[in-house]
Structure 1
Amino acid sequence: MKVIKKPSSLQEITEFLRLTGKRIGFVPTMGALHEGHVSLLLNSSDLCDITIASVFVNPIQFTEETDLEKYPRDFKRDYFICQKANVDYIFYPSVDDMYGENYLTEVKVKELSDKYEGEFRPGHFTGVASVVLKLLNIVKPHVAFFGQKDAQQCTVIKKMVTDLNLDTEIIVCDTVRESDGLAKSSRNVFLDETERSNAAVLYKALELGGDLILGGKYNNSQDVSSQMYHFIKSQVPSAEIQYIAITDNKLLDEIKDLNNFEGKVLVSLAVKFNGVRLIDNILLTKKGILNHVT
């Protein structure tokens, strides 16, 4: 496994790999790797000849300077995890490598970037789309892997790739969870013991929402959201609920007629536990919750 720091160096490598017929898989990360990232890396290793992981804490997607400063960083640990997960190359650029002097360009996926997560983190998805486009241009992968936990991010990236005719397939992999359903996240390290226990309410609330939708008793998504809201507050009164959304999985439009909707339903939420902000979601069809944890 090799560590590449310069974009031009990686471009030379990936150009050669493409010319020799290698299928390139790419997993963009900000480091602080956990089992969710490992799942993405192993999926890439299974489906591609070459796996490239990036480790880059992208400053332009943070809406608060304090969040950027305290984001966990441990490259030696990330290196070891990548090595065990069959990664061939780690792209580990500096901020100057990615955003040189007088950098002026940004990419925005309109509408999708401004709702839900975008409402509470204005500018976040512009930062995400901009860095992902840069990374895809540098790596030129055949396939890029993202986690379902960041559902809105996946939707934004897929729309960008489609709209800009990028030659990369986007594969969204299942959320990896703890035994109590809590989604694996780099932010979980900021939870103390009580907050960690309380955070398990997120998946329980999502299950409740899924069951209410599948039961057919509630046709209005707002009624389901209200039930989920009251459930969370009854279990963890101190929880700060930012949003609960019930949408389609393509453009994140609210589903108003649940009983007659065809396709996948995305139930998502964002909740703070003593300042630690966590997001999660589930997907369901009329047959049930997809990849349900029991």
Structure 2
Amino acid sequence: MEIFYTKDSLQKHLKILKQKGQTIGLVPTMGALHKGHLSLLEISKQQTDISVCTIFVNPTQFTNADDLKNYPRPIKTDIAKLKTADCDVLFMPGIEEMYAANEQWHIELGDLEHLLEGKFRPGHYQGVTQIVYKLFTLVEPDKAFFGQKDYQQFLVINKMVEIFRLPIKLVMCPILREPDGLAMSSRNIHLSAEEHQNALILSRALWYIKDSFNGETLKDLLNKGRDMITAQNGVELEYFEVADAETLRPTNEQTAHIVALTAAKVGSTRLIDNMILR
């Protein structure tokens, strides 16, 4: 695995590979890698010739300074995992390498920026699109791979690709879960054993919605799902919604593509999860 720390050195390396006709897959991450991240890499390796993983804890997408400060950074462990997974290229820039002083960024993302995650994390998706655009224009991948767990993020990045007409195919990869159902997340390491058990209510509520989807009205399903989560000790519900899978606007039973999404604080750790219903 080749490791690069500067944009210039990475671009020079990738230019040689592209001249040989090799296709490039990009897996952008903020590190603290788990099996979910590695599954993205595995899919990239199946679909492209060269897989590039990036590790960069992006400051512009954090709306809470403490969240940024406390974000896990097990760099040595991450590198070891990527080597074991046969990653081809790792890019690990510093903040100064990716951002100029007083840099400004804003794109019009429409409702996607303000619904659900956007409501609870204002400005978050401007920061996400800012760094992903930088990585896309730097790496110029043929395909980029993202996890379904960050469902709204995938839609936002797809919107950005459309706005700038970038020749990149986005691939949404399935959520990986712990054996008990908890969606894998870099934040799970912050959960105590008791909090981990409490957090299972999120996937249970989503499975309830999915299993009951064709038998009850959406209103009844939503009320039941919300009641399940709010009744769980140690869990503070932020949202539990069923939405149009393409716009994330409120939906009804007739919508062709539907997704259920939830976010909650378990102790001091914020978790998100979702499940595609149709």
Q: TM-score, normalised by structure 2?
A: 0.97
Measure how far apart 1:200 and its partner are.
Answer: 0.9
The equivalent of 1:277 in structure 2 is: 270
Residues 30 and 56 in structure 1, CA contact (< 8 A), matched pair in contact too: yes
Distance 1:106 1:201 in 2: 36
Aligned Cα root-mean-square deviation (Å): 1.2
C-alpha distance in 1, partners of 2:170/2:98? 22
Unpaired segments ≥5 residues, structure 1: 286-294
CA deviations 1:102-124 (Å, max 9, x no partner) are 32234452221111001111101
Which secondary structure does the structure 1 equivalent of 2:111 belong to? coil
Q: State the SS of the aligned residue for 1:198.
A: helix
- 1:223 equivalent in alignment to 2:220: yes
Quote the residue 2:161 is aligned against.
161
Structure 1 residues 108 and 98: CA distance shift in structure 2, 3 A: farther
- Give me the whole-angstrom Cα distance separating, in 2, the residues matched to 1:34 and 1:40: 10
Please give the alpha-carbon distance, in whole angstroms, between the structure 2 residues aligned to 1:271 and 1:222.
20
Distance across 2 between alignment mates of 1:110 and 1:132: 18
Aligned equivalents of 2:2 and 2:107: distance in 1? 30
What's the CA shift string for 1:256-284, capped at 9, x where partnerless?
x21x222x211000011112110000002
Q: Which residue of 1 aligns with 2:149?
A: 149
- Secondary structure of the 2:8 match is helix
Structure 2: how far apart are the matches of 1:111 and 1:233? Answer: 27
Structure 1 segment 1-294 matched on structure 2, within 5 A = 1-215=1-215, 217-218=216-217, 221-234=218-231, 236-255=232-251, 257-258=252-253, 260-262=254-256, 264-285=257-278
Residue 109 of structure 1 contacts residue 129 of structure 1 at CA under 8 Å; is this kept in 2? Answer: no
- Partner deviation per Cα, 1:172-225 (whole Å, 9 max, x = no partner): 00000011110000000010010001111111100111123222x21xx34322
What TM-score comes out, normalization by structure 1 length? 0.92
Percent of residue pairs bearing the same amino acid type? 39
Structure 2: distance between partners of 1:33 and 1:238 = 26
Deviations along 1:27-57, one digit per CA (max 9) or x if unpaired, are 0000000000010011111111101000000
1:153-181 per-position Cα deviation (integer Å, ceiling 9, x unaligned): 01101111122210110000000001111
**Kept in 1: contact 2:105–2:126 (CA 8 A):** no
5+ long unaligned stretches in structure 2: none
Q: Matches of 1:114 and 1:7 in 2, distance apart?
A: 32
Q: Distance in 1 between matches of 2:68 and 2:275?
A: 27
Q: Residue 277 of structure 2: SS of its match in structure 1?
A: strand
Q: 1:15 is aligned with what amino acid?
A: K
**Count of residue correspondences:** 278
Contact kept, 8 Å, 2:182 with 2:200, in 1: the verdict is yes
Instruction: Please tell me whether the aligned partners of residues 195 and 234 of structure 2 are also in contact (alpha carbons under 8 angstroms).
Output: no
SS of match in other structure, 1:115: coil
